[in-house]
Amino acid sequence: MNIQQLNIQAKTAISLFLMFIIIATISSVILLGLELTGEKKGINIPTVSQIQNKYTTPELVASMKGNMYEHVADDSDIDTVDRWIKNGSLKEDELYPEVKEIMALDCADCHSKSSEMSKAIPSMPFETYEEIKSHTQVGYSWSKMSKQAHIHMFGIAMFLITLTLIFSYTTYKNNIKTTLIWTSYGGAFLDIFSWWFSKFFTGLVYMIYIMGGLMVSSILLMSLMILINIWQKE
Ligand code: HEC
């Protein structure tokens, strides 16, 4: 049996599903590009150093160089925070008063429990030493990693099983089908786990790049190939 034998309603439903998948995939690439480059619009492909920044630098510094950059009053503020964290992010450090001042001036408008700004984030205050310190660790923490891994893996697995099952009933050659199915799951798995491991081996940032790219292209390719195949005459 192959997908060309399905009735017109099933073909329509599958085609609409695939269009959702294509738009969702492109949206995820747009979102990632905006977050990593700090740009406000368009499709932005992040550079390796921007990816490195997200996964291998302390969260506070990464955000100040990335999507919170617009709130940073002066580039030297980033340097001060970076040096304080490299020194061990201690309360007694001579740089700490300056860091506290930067947080108060640049960030506390929104990052405060009592903030009433429309874009505020009261759940992530930077007011006390402990609050600031809790965002100084390098790369993904256990909690961030387990949160990201389960959300992404549940989500990706749900649509990949549908997509790859439909793809396996196309009339393409078996080795093409097998390769793309392995690439999509393999790329997703290695991409997600490189987020975590790249804080230990910075070289893995290239893995994030390559595997993320392979996952996205295999999903788009399978979707397009199914769309072409399903409407071909048997
Ligand atoms: C205009 C309000 C506003 C200001 C000012 C602001 N932030 Fe944020 N920040 C947010 C919001 C909203 C989020 C959560 C959603 C998001 O990521 O956009 C956030 C998220 C974050 C995160 C979580 C990870 C991330 O990057 O999304 C960090 C770290 C952070 N901000 C640091 C800072 C620092 C450091 C400053 C000061 C230089 C700052 N923020 C200034 C509103 C603000």
Residue 71 Cβ inside 6 Å of ligand 1? The answer reads: yes
Tell which residue, 42, 39, 19, 18, has the closest CA to residue 29.
42
178 alpha carbon to ligand 1 midpoint, in Å?
A: 43
Residues in the chain: 234
Q: What integer pLDDT is reported at residue 96 of this predicted model?
A: 96
Q: What integer pLDDT is reported at residue 130 of this predicted model?
A: 95
Per-residue pLDDT, averaged over 1-17, amounts to 96
Residue 64 Cβ inside 6 Å of ligand 1? The answer reads: yes
The two structure tokens encoding residue 132? 């600031």
Average pLDDT, the chain: 92
Residue 121 Cβ inside 6 Å of ligand 1? The answer reads: yes
Q: What integer pLDDT is reported at residue 60 of this predicted model?
A: 93
For the chain, the straight-line distance linking the first and the last C-alpha, in angstroms and rounded, comes to 11
126 alpha carbon to ligand 1 midpoint, in Å?
A: 10
Residue 59 Cβ inside 6 Å of ligand 1? The answer reads: yes
24 alpha carbon to ligand 1 midpoint, in Å?
A: 25
pLDDT band for 142, please (50, 70, 90 cuts).
confident
Tens digit of each residue's pLDDT (9 = 90 or more) over 42-57: 998 888 888 887 888 8
Task: Name which residue sits closest to atom 8 of ligand 1, judged by CA.
Answer: 68
Residue 191 Cβ inside 6 Å of ligand 1? The answer reads: no
68 alpha carbon to ligand 1 midpoint, in Å?
A: 5
Tens digit of each residue's pLDDT (9 = 90 or more) over 12-40: 999 999 999 999 999 999 998 888 887 88
